[in-house]
Amino acid sequence: MTGSGEQTFLFEQNPTRVANSERDALLANPGFGRVFTDHMATIRYSEGRGWHDAKIGPRKAFDLDPSTLVLHYAQEIFEGMKAYRLPDGGATLFRPDANARRFRNSALRLAMAPLPEELFVQSVRELVRIDRDWIPAGEGAALYLRPFMIATEVLLGVKPSAEYLYCVIASSVGSYFKGGAPAITIWVSENYTRAAPGGTGEAKCGGNYAASLAAQAEAMQEGCEQVVFLDAVERRFVEELGGMNVFFGFRDGSLQTPPLTGTILPGITRDSLITLARDMGLTVREEPYAIDQWQADAESGRLTEAFACGTAAVVTPIGKVKGREHSFTIGDGGAGPVASRLKSALLDIQNGRAPDPHGWLDRLF
């Protein structure tokens, strides 16, 4: 059955699938992003033909001409989402329609062909159903899905590609940070910014990550796990981490997170946490927050916690903030109570242990 925008996927089974015993061993301690499933989904696009050749086939290397456009001008976008095990052995996606919409918006910003949202969701569903044995069980474990799209026209001229390859790969994952989610120390980047007004900050593209890596390397040199970026104009307002949105928690019980003004990636976790916090009766402000204010509030005790969030890292408490001009501890340097409550509430919905009042789950089987 195909609805509007859906297509029939050709299925080619991987003839050299990983043996069950080997897979079980890999799933016992998968880490993050190094254990991959047997198959991948692909769909091709070319001007004139549109989207065609939808397929689930063996996961394998691409054969790319050296002048393929993506290799030179970085016309590439991606998504990150997870399939979760349910208590009855079934599995679910979480808000895949939101990933599909964001993927479409990212494509438009990068002047790429937008993939129909139904086709995006269908490709992810079909891949997870075929590689269902790769969904690990256990707290914090999931099958991480990585849909992405690259410009595949063979050309060195600078222009939007006339051809694209869309692909979904899947990776069995445990916790993003080793040892679960202890509070992390973050480095305030004063030398680098991530995104400027009018740029690609709200698109999920590899180029944003490429631009963030020098700052991330600096953070690690300074003994921090992650970098936090300030706004590119005033170099004052806290925007987000390299790949996670940020929340601030106050003694009065309220929460604050930077507003989506075009330079911040609109996280689906961010949006879900705002909803869950309001469901709990908490006040959530989407307002700019200056780094100096953050330090002053942490020192006065007005601010009691802070945390980062994203699909990969879920909710990760921020214990300490360091920078050339800043150094402060948040609360007692550990996980705050609001972060813990929100994290449990989100995981309980995603893992089917709590009701799903907002209709976020997309049950696969």
Ligand X SMILES: *Cc1c(COP(=O)(O)O)cnc(C)c1O
Q: How far is the CB of 346 from ligand X (least distance, A)?
A: 10
DSSP tally for the chain: helices H, then strands E: 8, 18
Per CB under 6 A, the segment of 23-31, 35-43, 180-188, 268-276 that binds ligand X is: 268-276
CB atoms within 10 A of CB 222: 15
Beta bridge pairs of residue 44: 52, 165
122 binds ligand X (CB under 6 A): no
- Close Cβ partners of 79 (under 8 Å, ≥ 6 residues apart): 99, 102, 103, 120, 145, 146, 147, 148, 204
In a 3-state reduction of DSSP, which class is residue 104?
helix
Nearest residue to 362 via CA among 123, 95, 35, 102: 95
Per the CB < 8 A criterion, the answer to whether 306 and 247 are in contact is yes
Nearer to ligand X, 261 or 329 (CB): 261
Per CB under 6 A, the segment of 52-60, 148-156, 166-174, 238-246 that binds ligand X is: 238-246
> Which element (helix H / strand E) includes 122?
helix 117-130
Q: How far is the CB of 140 from ligand X (least distance, A)?
A: 15
Choice from 267, 317, 323, 352 touching ligand X (CB under 6 A):
267
Q: How far is the CB of 135 from ligand X (least distance, A)?
A: 18
Whole-number CA gyration radius for the chain: 21
Residue whose entry in the numeric block shows the structure tokens 């929460």: 255
Q: How far is the CB of 301 from ligand X (least distance, A)?
A: 28
183-222 mask for ligand X (x: CB under 6 A)?
Answer: ---------------------x------------------
291-310 mask for ligand X (x: CB under 6 A)?
Answer: -------------------x
Nearer to ligand X, 37 or 311 (CB): 311
Choice from 80, 199, 262, 288 touching ligand X (CB under 6 A):
80
d(CA 135, CA 112): 31
d(CA 84, CA 353): 11
319 binds ligand X (CB under 6 A): no
Nearer to ligand X, 9 or 248 (CB): 248
Nearer to ligand X, 85 or 204 (CB): 204
CB atoms within 10 A of CB 87: 9
At residue 235, what is the residue type?
R
Per CB under 6 A, the segment of 125-133, 152-160, 242-250, 355-363 that binds ligand X is: 242-250
Q: How far is CA 166 from CA 96, 116, 160, 332, in A?
A: 16, 12, 15, 45
Helix, strand, coil percentages for the chain (3-state, nearest 5): 25, 30, 45
d(CA 167, CA 54): 10
Per CB under 6 A, the segment of 128-136, 165-173, 265-273, 326-334 that binds ligand X is: 265-273
Choice from 228, 244, 255, 303 touching ligand X (CB under 6 A):
244
Residue whose entry in the numeric block shows the structure tokens 């890292």: 313
245 binds ligand X (CB under 6 A): yes
Residue whose entry in the numeric block shows the structure tokens 């086709």: 119
277 binds ligand X (CB under 6 A): no
Nearer to ligand X, 68 or 269 (CB): 269
268 binds ligand X (CB under 6 A): yes
Choice from 265, 277, 291, 345 touching ligand X (CB under 6 A):
265
311 binds ligand X (CB under 6 A): yes
Nearest residue to 289 via CA among 239, 234, 227: 239
Per CB under 6 A, the segment of 15-23, 262-270, 322-330, 353-361 that binds ligand X is: 262-270
239 binds ligand X (CB under 6 A): no
Give the total of residues touching ligand X (CB under 6 A). Answer: 13
240 binds ligand X (CB under 6 A): yes
Beta bridge pairs of residue 78: 148
Catalog residues that contact ligand X under the rule CB under 6 A: 80, 204, 240, 243-245, 265, 267-270, 310-311
